[in-house]
Structure 1
Amino acid sequence: MTFEPGTSHLTGVRGAELAWTRSGRGPHVIWAHGLTSSGRGEEASGMFDWEPLTARHRLIRYDARGHGGSSGTPEPEHYTWPNLGLDLLELLEHTVGDERVDGVGSSMGTASLLYAATTTPERFRRLVLTTPPTMRAQRAVHVRGYLDAAELIERSGLAAYEEAITAEPPPHIYSGPGWTRPAVEVTERLLPSILRGAARSDLPSDNALTALDLPVLILAWSGDPGHPLSTARHLAETIRGARLQIADIPMQLRTWPELATEFLA
């Protein structure tokens, strides 16, 4: 099957239609976004800019199940991180065939990549894991938050949820100009199930992470309890040979696209 570069596509994956685009030239790299965003959402907000990758790679940006232009059903289990990892793997079968790829993820996308890589390690060459989410005991407070948010949406609607998250201060690293909070790119019908799926999720076991045998770069920022440095450091200690880079100020964050491009060269 032929897919034209730069064109938006819909591909059937495990009962859903996933929206995706491809740009650039070279070996493939897939970008996996964070919770409630989309393949372009975090770039549109000024949070990340992965366009430099397209100078050396063909970059696939896709919308996770239930996000952006991708379809989904209101079943929380479909949105757990292991299931999102399976979605990613099947999408790669349709888009790149047997080619080994590089992966870049953010938060939920980092978790999806880790499940995909621990399930089918031969599929990947290298991983860039940005803003790893909470894990193990640290997830308890966020699990409660996800469940409370799901109930808020069902009780008062999506606008109430958006108002609540807008009232929360952003990570200090995004306190300056040039950044807007990423839009919620999930429908009111699906978002409660997506949040409950996140609440049922955790990162892969340490045994699975230890078994990974591929180059990994971890990009983390400080001052964000939803993406704590403790997770990033634990991943760096558990995944053999993983490199950790921490951003404390916006200027350091702006180097991430170049760091990722160099790492994947």
Structure 2
Amino acid sequence: MTDGMLELDGATISWSVQEGDRPTVVQLHGLSMSRANEAAAAYFDWSPVAAGGRRLVRYDARGHGRSTGRPVPEDYAWPMLAEDLFALLDEVAPGEAVDAIGVSMGVGTLLHAVTSRPERFRRLVLVIPPTAWATRAAQGDAYRQMAGLVETQGYEALVRAMAAFDPLPLLQDGGWTETPPPDLDPAVLPAVFTGAAATDLPRPEAIGAIRQRVLLKPWVGDPGHPVSTSERLHELLPDSTLEVMAAPEDVRALGARVAAFLA
């Protein structure tokens, strides 16, 4: 495993590479998560991807985990995060077209990236795509409320509020009952959520121009990641496969399914 830090405008990006002898795949986490948080939550296991000999790149988005950021909401809009992704790829996989796995916010980042510079990508895996277009406004309101809570009552107030919500039934049924707290610097957390509230997926016509093979893996019962987003993406994307995760065993099989798709 190789670790590194990438200095960007207003941020330092923490990344890691598990070396392999096959082409690179990059994995992007969701809002308020990180590499460490994904490991703590334990429902997404990417080890089968690396086990197949792939060169697996993972990183913490700006403001998340071990990466740093500044309290500027525009820095956390998905097109800006896509520019961070390009900078990282220029550092760890220069000139290479990579496969990519995006989770939630990572889906938004990845779709903005591939519609901007499609030559940098081969195949895409979109895991639990978030609210988009018609469903985005209500989610944006929720993010702004979270930002306001931290600004007025502090980070711990948000942690308590999030802990009061029951886990998704799908995760609870699978034994994943602990929800890790946000892995964000409290000083930038309001800006991260405000930036997320003000951003959306690319326009449908831009998504319809994507020519990469795409695997869509939504799960059920999550208003923040409605299956309807994946269904609409499936309609728009010319070469996509839609597979809904409806049971805990579907979530457990995700890593192996992604590895097979990218093989």
Normalising by the residue count of structure 1, what TM-score does the alignment of the two structures yield? 0.95
Q: Match for 1:159: what amino acid?
A: E
The structural deviation recorded for 1:178 is: 4.2
The structural deviation recorded for 1:40 is: 3.5
Q: Render the CA deviation track for 1:56-102: whole Å, top value 9, x for unaligned.
A: 21111100001011110000000001111111111100111101100
SS in 1 for 2:243: strand
The worse-fitting range, judged by mean Cα deviation, of 10-19 and 58-67 is 10-19
Answering whether residue 204 of structure 2 is matched by residue 196 of structure 1, we say no
Select 1:119's aligned residue among 100, 116, 120.
116
Select 1:45's aligned residue among 41, 49, 66.
41
* Contact 1:13-1:91 within 8 A present in 2 as well: no
The structural deviation recorded for 1:14 is: 3.6
SS in 2 for 1:198: helix
Select 1:244's aligned residue among 230, 242, 245.
242
* Contact 2:19-2:54 within 8 A present in 1 as well: yes
The structural deviation recorded for 1:179 is: 4.8
How many Å separate the matches in 2 of 1:14 and 1:215? 32
Answering whether residue 87 of structure 2 is matched by residue 83 of structure 1, we say no
Answering whether residue 175 of structure 2 is matched by residue 150 of structure 1, we say no
Structure 2 alignment gaps of length 5 or more: none
How many Å separate the matches in 2 of 1:99 and 1:40? 27
SS in 1 for 2:2: coil
**Alignment correspondent of 2:10:** 15
* Contact 1:76-1:194 within 8 A present in 2 as well: yes
* Contact 1:37-1:68 within 8 A present in 2 as well: yes
* Contact 2:167-2:177 within 8 A present in 1 as well: no
Moved over 4 A (4+): none
Structure 1 alignment gaps of length 5 or more: 1-5
Q: Render the CA deviation track for 1:210-234: whole Å, top value 9, x for unaligned.
A: 1101100000101111000000100
How many Å separate the matches in 2 of 1:24 and 1:172? 36
How many Å separate the matches in 1 of 2:237 and 2:199? 20
Over aligned residues, Cα RMSD in angstroms? 1.1
Aligned residues: 260
The worse-fitting range, judged by mean Cα deviation, of 97-106 and 20-29 is 20-29
How many Å separate the matches in 2 of 1:247 and 1:195? 27
**Alignment correspondent of 2:165:** 168
**Alignment correspondent of 2:94:** 97
Percent identity of equivalent pairs: 40
SS in 1 for 2:180: coil
The worse-fitting range, judged by mean Cα deviation, of 176-185 and 82-91 is 176-185
SS in 1 for 2:150: helix
